[in-house]
Amino acid sequence: MQTLPPQVLTAVHMLEEKGFHCHIVGGCVRDLLLGRRPSDYDLTTDATPEQMQQVFASCRTIETGLAHGTLTILLEGMSLECTTYRVDGAYSDGRHPDSVRFTPTLEEDLARRDFTVNAMAYHPRLGLTDPFGGRRDLERGILRCVGEPERRFTEDGLRILRCIRFASVLGFAIEPETAAAVHRLKHRLERISAERIRAELDKLLMGEHVTEVLCRYGDILFVPIPELAACKDFAQHSPYHRYDVWTHTAHSVGEAPKDPLLRLTMLLHDVGKPECFTMDGDGRGHFKGHAARGAALVAQILPRLRYDRHTCTIVTELIARHADKLRSRAAVRHVLSELGPEQFFRLIDVMCADNSAKQPFCLEELPGLMETAEYARRLLDAGACLTVRQLAVNGRDMAGLGARGRQIGQLLHMLLDAVLEERADNDREQLLALAEESLGQP
């Protein structure tokens, strides 16, 4: 077990000094046993909320949820949530307990938690309290509900998504009874807020084991994102694909760099395929227009999941463009001009992940995509003209030639196209001559 931060030790000492018991609990204990650095620390104590307030009267505190026994303590730059040992009442909303009953028993508090690996408590002097075999499950790489899975998931439907998120991040197998309940009770996610679904989805997609989890538990995600359900077992009938649409999607997510925008893009990039499927006389499948249809669907999905406008714009555009062809330098310059550098390189990553999840021979496309990216970097380093603003002429020059209103913008974009396609250099005299010719001037 790693050494606990001094702020945690201080909080434990302050409570014990007043005669109370205190342990660190939950995910931070799990992470410490795994040799990971916890992102935060939670404490549990037999002190009531009022008693906690007295103990930490000299500290800055936030009344996070006193009715449920939780007080946030700010100690030397660290935020610690401290909660009174409690037993939860009924969960009529399928997410939060209607009431709580404080208890003097640590074991009763641990019994209300979701999974055995999260139901352990640790004291720096007394060691580990583990009434449900969490350490054993941790060593064996197993996710198991505390008590009856059906009860745990009925209490709080978000635990279903948390379960597969832990499987993705930790690489743990879900114990059979727990896994069966995950599938059986997935509809409980319908009662969970979009914001909480989004937060868990983002973490799940960043897991090292995301492909395996999406393949085994994709039906869980089809509850908040029903548009994806049609991808399951949808055969592509294509020489480029070895998987059905959903399995290809799962593999492409795992092949993408660990960037939330890219992982989310890959999850949704082929959502438009089932609607666009046609088969020719040779039995070969085609998905003409699936990128545009997918972008239209995603423009509805992401706001529904309460993604911010930036994420919606970036991901929707990447999906709309993921089937673009970059077979010539002119095409590369055009796409780089339209998307801008940051989005262009994201698109390259998307194309690489897409090809990596197809037939093995499609990996032969990757060196070409890397060369495309390198060519784009050379253009940027050389300050190549890629935007209207970089042209050697401007709107005043066009007006001087007699252009008016929208015609000015149209001329400038025509000149930019000529430069991007290498039909003209970014030279002032050459561009003015081309503009004059377009206006029909001698």
Q: Which residue has the higher pLDDT, 160 or 69?
A: 160
Q: What are phi and psi of 310, to 5 degrees?
A: -60, -50
Asked whether residue 146 carries a pLDDT value surpassing 70, the answer given is yes
| pLDDT digit string, tens, across residues 156-166 | 999 999 999 99
Q: What is the rounded average pLDDT for all residues in the chain? A: 95
Asked whether residue 267 carries a pLDDT value surpassing 80, the answer given is yes
Q: What is the pLDDT of residue 94?
A: 66
Q: Whole-angstrom Cα distance, residue 72 to residue 308?
A: 28
If pLDDT is split at 50, 70 and 90, which confidence band does 3 have? confident
Lowest average pLDDT, out of 56-70, 191-205, 221-235, 373-387, goes to: 56-70
Lowest average pLDDT, out of 226-235, 303-312, 432-441, goes to: 432-441
If pLDDT is split at 50, 70 and 90, which confidence band does 113 have? very high
Domain 1-133 matching CATH 3.10.620.30: the answer reads no
Lowest average pLDDT, out of 68-82, 98-112, 280-294, 346-360, goes to: 98-112
